[in-house]
Chains A and B, each alone.
Chain A
Amino acid sequence: MAINRRDFLKFSAGTGLMLAAEANVGNRADAKELPRDAVGILYDATLCIGCMSCMVNCKKANSEPGGALYHRETAGKIPYEYEGEEKKYDAPTGLSADTLCVIKAYRENSDAQGGVFSFIKQHCLHCVNPACVSVCPVAALQKDPDSGIVTYNKNRCFGCRYCQVACPFGIPMYEWEKASPSVVKCQLCNHRYAQGSYSACCEACPTGASLFGKVKDLREEAARRLALKPGDTYAYPVNHIEHGKTTEQVVPEYVDHIYGLDEAGGTQYMFLAGVEFDKLGFNPRITNQIYPEYTWSYVSHVPQLIGALLVAGTACRIVTQKLDKEKDRDK
Chain B
Amino acid sequence: MESNPAIKTWTPATIVMMLLIIFGVGVGVYRMINGLGATTNLNDVYPWGFWLGLDVLGGVAMAAGGFIIACAVYLFNWKKYRPIVRPAILTAFLGYLMAVLALFLDIGHPFRLWHPSIMWQYHSVMWVVAMHVIFYTTTLGLEFSPMLFERLGWEKARRAVGKIMIGAVIFGVMLSTLHQSSLGAVFLIAPSKMSSLWWDTKLPFHFLVSAVAMGLSMVSFETALSQKFLHHKVDKEIYFGLARGVMIVLGFYLCLKLYQLFAVASPGMAFDGSVEGNMYLLEMLVGVILPLCILAVKKYRQNTRVIFSVNVLVIVGVLLNRMNVCLFSMESYNTWRGMSYSPSWKEFVVSLGVVSIGVFLYKMSAKHLPLFTH
Contacts and interface: CB of A to CB of B under 8 A. Distances in A.
Interface in B319-335: 332-333, 335
Contacts of B33: 179
Nearest to A138: B119
A161 B47 CA distance: 6
A213 interface: no
A321 B201 CA distance: 37
B264 A21 contact: yes
B5 to A, nearest CB: 37
Contact of B170 (A14, A297, A314): A314
Given A18-B192, A156-B115, A135 B125 contact: yes
Contacts of A53: none
B113 interface: yes
Interface string A288-329: 010110111111001001100110011011001101100000
A164 interface: yes
B123 interface: yes
Contacts, number: 206
Interface string A87-121: 00000000110000000000000000000000000
A180 interface: yes
Contacts of B266: 17
Nearest to B263: A20
B123 A292 contact: yes
Nearest to B111: A158
Output the residue of B48, B109, B189 with the most chain A CB within 10 A.
B189
Nearest to B44: A173
B265 A295 contact: no
Given A138-B116, A324-B77, A18 B196 contact: yes
A31 interface: no
Interface residues on B, range: 35 or more
B77 to A, nearest CB: 4
B36 interface: yes
Interface in A5-22: 7-8, 10-11, 14, 17-18, 20-22
Contacts of A294: 188-189, 191, 201
14 contacts: A96-B44, A135-B125, A139-B121, A160-B126, A162-B124, A165-B48, A170-B337, A172-B44, A176-B36, A283-B333, A295-B123, A302-B178, A302-B182, A317-B74
Contact of A299 (B109, B113, B128, B199): B128
Contacts of B359: none
A135 B124 CA distance: 4
B189 A291 contact: yes
A252 interface: no
Interface string A117-139: 00000000000000100111111
B279 interface: no
B35 A179 contact: yes
Given A313-B75, A321-B77, A299 B123 contact: yes
A192 to B, nearest CB: 26
Band of interface residues on A:
35 or more
Nearest to B276: A14
A21 B199 contact: yes
A328 B166 CA distance: 21
A25 B185 CA distance: 14
A119 to B, nearest CB: 19
Contacts of B48: 161, 165
Contacts of A72: none
A35 interface: no
A197 interface: no
Contact of A317 (B32, B42, B170): B170
A178 interface: yes
Interface in A51-98: 95-96
Contacts of B193: 165, 168, 283, 285
Nearest to A155: B112
Nearest to A300: B123
B333 A11 contact: yes
B109 A17 contact: no
B373 interface: no
A17 B123 contact: no
Interface in A262-299: 283, 285-287, 289, 291-292, 294-299
B123 A134 contact: yes
Contacts of B71: 313
Contact of A176 (B43, B76, B115, B120): B43
A159 interface: yes
Interface in B25-73: 32-38, 42-45, 47-48, 71
Nearest to B332: A11
Interface string B317-358: 000000000000000110111100000000000000000000
B171 interface: yes
A24 interface: yes
A166 interface: yes
Contacts of B75: 313, 316-317, 320
A251 interface: no
A167 B112 CA distance: 23
Contact of A286 (B44, B120, B182, B192): B192
A159 B124 contact: no
A313 B336 contact: no
